[in-house]
Copies of this chain bind each other. A is one copy, B any other.
């Protein structure tokens, strides 16, 4: 049953990427129709079920993601696992007080460095954390979240990714460092504007 469900959700995700994804300028894959601007809630539920199934025995206490595109898949996984989701903010909000973990993250897509902030109230030493994000490319965002978990003295159980760009170094790097990385779709190439999977 597990393999059947995995197959179904991975297939639906791959179909969406092929049918609706747009390849821009070299290595940018735009999936604004179901993940990064418009959101397909049914697909997010299937993705959440997948992560929940993969980590059901991991003793997770919390999911950590980044605003904005990580929120939908993370909340669906959190709903099924029955645990809270924390999203790192990309810049300080005036309604947050000075009680944060912060870390710098460089976005190769946007060519900007931003500061991730997570309140010390919501990631604690005894937390067992699943990191969820929409994309894994160079691994900058994941490294930022890992750094926050480390600052808190908490445990990272794994990293759940919706779409990994397998031709960029992030996934390899994180796996070599010993992290469990589960990517639901791994794109092996965007050459000639065509999406190919690993």
- How many residues of A are counted as interface, with CB atoms below 8 angstroms from the partner's CB atoms? 43
* A75 contacts B32, C-beta separation under 8 Å: no
Q: Chain B's nearest CB lies how many Å from the CB of A16?
A: 12
Q: Chain B's nearest CB lies how many Å from the CB of A22?
A: 9
A61-75 vs B, CB cutoff 8 Å, 1 = contact: the mask equals: 000000110011011
| One of A80-88, A169-177, A188-196 contacting the partner | A80-88
Any B CB within 8 A of the CB of A45: yes
Inside 8 A of A67's CB, which chain B residues have their CB?
Answer: 67-68
Residue of B nearest to A123 (CB): B38
* A96 contacts B45, C-beta separation under 8 Å: no
Inside 8 A of A72's CB, which chain B residues have their CB?
Answer: 71-72, 75, 85
Which of B28, B85, B89, B118 is close to A39, meaning CB atoms less than 8 Å apart? Answer: B85
Inside 8 A of A45's CB, which chain B residues have their CB?
Answer: 79
State A71–B111 Cα separation when bound (angstroms).
Answer: 25
State A29–B141 Cα separation when bound (angstroms).
Answer: 30
State A78–B83 Cα separation when bound (angstroms).
Answer: 21
Any B CB within 8 A of the CB of A36: yes
- List the 5 closest pairs (A to B, CB-CB), nearest first: A41-B79, A67-B68, A41-B78, A39-B85, A38-B122
